[in-house]
Amino acid sequence: MIHLVKPARVALVLLAGFVPILRAQAPAAPPTPPPVRRGGAGAGGNYKNYDSATLERGKRTYTANCAFCHGGSAKGGESGPNLLRSITVLHDENGDLISKVVLNGRPDKGMPKFSFTPDQLADIAAFLHDGVRAAAQRGTYKILDILVGDPKAGESYFNGAGGCTSCHSVTGDLAHVGSKYDTVNLQQKIVMPRESRYGARSGPIDKGTAVTATVTLPSGEVVNGLLDHIDDFAITLIDEHGERRSFTRDDDVPKVELHDPMKGHTELLKRYTDADIHNLTAYLVTLK
């Protein structure tokens, strides 16, 4: 697989750069699936592809040590939170943040510490990142079935159980949404409208979807701003004057509250069935 994919990428890069020269000579490059953007700190980049041996090892280590609390597919279990929606995991680069949590634990909160080798930690991180990718791509599978939805059922879900009207109106912000996107993109927007964004590294911050934070210092001072970075030991935000401010964290001091405008959507993801998604798409597509 890897040997096939790499030359294809090179060919695409070349084509992009030298279209006029190469188009006549080069055979058409085999279609490569479009890269998928990831959220969190790596929002500048795309999801990584891990080889199956790494994922298999990561899954085995995860299942033996973590599944008990975080669930078999890391979507949360008896006593541990959903790791595929965890800010720590989304913001992790190559295991840096996940490793800190795993090696130190959070004993007072019920997360034990483990001693793993760097290789084992990298395998676990790969397994979790691959899970995040699978969850994000959920909306892209079964695309062929996309028009099987029932618009009437979609309309009642939209106005009822889906709770969409608490944030949207079909005569307001979603008016004409059916003309704005083709069907596939519309379905994608329902599932993942825009990634929550944070981190100055990720380029310009979109205020509509940016994660903000409120830090309350022991002195009582309250600092609000756009979240730039957070891990177990520190938080950095950009305050209202555009200044970057960092604070070290020691458990709950200072108090940190995160506000994620896309939380409504990510929460909904857990509740959607495929039928709900298809029905909603079939309904929204009628809003021309």
Cα separation, 275 vs 142, in Å, equals 11
Residue type, 59: K
Residue 166 touching ligand HEC (CB under 6 A): yes
Contact 248, 199 (CB under 8 A): no
Q: Which residues contact 163 (CB under 8 A, 6 or more apart)?
A: 264, 268
Residue 268 touching ligand HEC (CB under 6 A): yes
Q: Which residues contact 205 (CB under 8 A, 6 or more apart)?
A: 197, 198, 226
Q: Judged by CB under 6 A, which stretch of 50-58, 64-72, 131-139, 251-259 contacts ligand HEC?
A: 64-72
Among 43, 135, 164, 237, interactor with ligand HEC by CB under 6 A? 164
Cα separation, 1 vs 20, in Å, equals 30
Residue 245 touching ligand HEC (CB under 6 A): no
Nearer to ligand HEC, 9 or 106 (CB): 106
Cα separation, 40 vs 45, in Å, equals 10
Residue 98 touching ligand HEC (CB under 6 A): yes
Among 30, 44, 110, 203, interactor with ligand HEC by CB under 6 A? 110
Residue 114 touching ligand HEC (CB under 6 A): yes
Q: Per-residue b/e over 139-173, b at no fewer than 16 CB within 10 Å?
A: beeeeeebeebeeebbbebbeeebebeeeeebeee
| Binders in 171-230 for ligand HEC, by CB under 6 A | 177, 180, 189-190, 193-194, 208-209
Nearer to ligand HEC, 177 or 213 (CB): 177
Residue 83 touching ligand HEC (CB under 6 A): yes
Choose among 218, 213, 225: nearest CA to 253: 218
Residue 100 touching ligand HEC (CB under 6 A): no
Return residues touching ligand HEC (CB under 6 A): 65-66, 68-70, 79-81, 83, 86-89, 98, 101-102, 106, 109-112, 114, 124, 158, 162-164, 166-168, 177, 180, 189-190, 193-194, 208-209, 261-262, 264-265, 268, 280, 284
